[in-house]
Amino acid sequence: MGVRTQGRGEDAHSVLRQPRLVPLHALAAGVDFERYFRWRRAREGDPFVVRFPGFGSGLFTGTPEGAREMFRAPVESLEPPRPNPVEPLVGDASLILTSGQRHRRDRALLAPAFHGARIREYAQLIRESTVHEMSGGSNGSAWTPGTRIDARAAARAITLRVILEAVFGVDSRERRAEYTAVVAEFLDAYTGPLMLVPTLRRGLFDRLPWDRFVRARDRLDALILADIARRTTHSEPRTGDILGLLLTARYEDGGTMPESDLCDQLRTLLVAGHETTATSLVWALFHLHREPESLAALRAELRTAGSTATAAELARLPYLDAVCQETLRLHPTVPIVVRRLTEPFTFRGIELAAGDTIGLAVPLLHSAPQTWTHPQRFQPDRFADRRYTPFEYAPFGGGHRRCVGAGLADYELRIALATILSLVQLRLTPRFARGRAPLSVPHNIATGPRRAITFEVA
């Protein structure tokens, strides 16, 4: 076991062993995240210790009972682990990193932007963004028969367009192109080594990877701050988008969110809100095109709904819903949910001290034998036959920090997928049509297929 029991008379302190061979663990996790977690559990049982550079050691579980303990723990005894690998991307004030009263206040301000009625307003935007990409996007080729599609690039373009317009109201071609280039540069500059090895986060005469990242972040912040300034000085808050909503929202005491905090929150929405959803769309297309029966069942449902179905109607189709849920079960793009303890807490029967980290390995939860039969298979019907508790199925995490954008992600995935399948027939290129699915590897805030998955338009 990687945990040791506390000796009598010892002060309350961590029972997690200090990290050893951390770089090797990081390498193993970087090569095959899911297998690494399975290996750790096979060695230690559940719970098991995982060691990550940048995070330190954490006690992880992959069981529904463990998920229940974590999500039901007293809110005040949990906070996000700091230092945190995503800190440079999202910033100190980000909802992902704050805790306690501050997290509660900011979440109350942001959450209404993602409530049902508002999200439904984005239906048309999602459909239009998908159709736009399929017609060639800004510079690509139209999805005509014989065209080869890089699903990841296409899905990213769709979800980035949606988030830019939903958050900043970006609807002009020039501004979209500017944002798209800067966001791509910013995300690319945050390489795996920078994420996992904090000592590399140093600059030298503007020449090191960290310098490149800081330059890209400054450029993105300059765009965001200019948008905020335009709205505040020209009093055009455009309440239709999320920035407009945040500019007019007030804390309970009547105060507004400071500009630098607002910049961190908006950068967070850009980072958290587009690659995650894009990756899920790619996996949904991938599995559907490897499972002809599922694809036929979904096409039949879409045909019955008819070509005049509104985007909102499409989002309510039961088999489409089951396909999307099954995709997020097999590929939870944010595969670990972590909390640091602010006070002693017993997790899976082990007494932990303030400062210790606990975690949920979502791929293990989503394949727990007590819940799922044949967990490695793509079987959307399992969601038609049964409902699962939030402790059995948790692609968006849970408790008081459950993903604030879950409703938007769900909606986007359903509408984009329905739109694509209604308009074209695709087939996986031979390399992906058979054999093992590509591995999921960490990338920025989430994980995604190691290689670009390609399709041909039939």
Least separation in angstroms between CB 272 and ligand HEM: 4
Residue holding tokens 């967990």? Answer: 375
Based on CB atoms, which residue is closest to ligand HEM, 95 or 187?
Answer: 95
User: What b/e readout covers 443-452, taking b as 16+ CB neighbours within 10 angstroms?
Assistant: bbbbbbbeee
Based on CB atoms, which residue is closest to ligand HEM, 14 or 333?
Answer: 333
Least separation in angstroms between CB 328 and ligand HEM: 6
- Give, in degrees to the nearest 5, the angle at Cα 148 between 138 and 334: 75
Based on CB atoms, which residue is closest to ligand HEM, 15 or 413?
Answer: 413
If DSSP codes are grouped into helix, strand and coil, which group holds residue 245? helix
Least separation in angstroms between CB 273 and ligand HEM: 3
Least separation in angstroms between CB 243 and ligand HEM: 12
Based on CB atoms, which residue is closest to ligand HEM, 58 or 398?
Answer: 398
Based on CB atoms, which residue is closest to ligand HEM, 129 or 280?
Answer: 280
Rounded CA gap, 117 and 79, in Å?
A: 30
DSSP state of 76: G
Rounded CA gap, 389 and 236, in Å?
A: 44
Least separation in angstroms between CB 95 and ligand HEM: 5
Based on CB atoms, which residue is closest to ligand HEM, 365 or 404?
Answer: 404
DSSP letters for 194-247 = HHH-GGG---STT-SHHHHHHHHHHHHHHHHHHHHHHHHHTT---TTSHHHHHH
Helix axes 259-288, 209-233, angle to 10 degrees: 110
Least separation in angstroms between CB 239 and ligand HEM: 18
Rounded CA gap, 165 and 128, in Å?
A: 11
Rounded CA gap, 229 and 25, in Å?
A: 45
87 phi, psi to nearest 5 deg: -50, -50
Rounded CA gap, 314 and 421, in Å?
A: 12
Least separation in angstroms between CB 102 and ligand HEM: 11
Residues near ligand HEM, by CB under 6 A = 95-96, 107, 163, 268-269, 272-273, 276-277, 280, 333-334, 337, 395-399, 401-405, 408-409
Least separation in angstroms between CB 154 and ligand HEM: 16
What single-letter amino acid sits at 69?
E
Cβ atoms of residues 225 and 265 within 8 Å: no
Cβ atoms of residues 279 and 152 within 8 Å: yes
Based on CB atoms, which residue is closest to ligand HEM, 64 or 273?
Answer: 273
- Give the residues across from 79 on adjacent strands: 340
DSSP state of 70: H
Based on CB atoms, which residue is closest to ligand HEM, 99 or 379?
Answer: 99
What single-letter amino acid sits at 314?
L
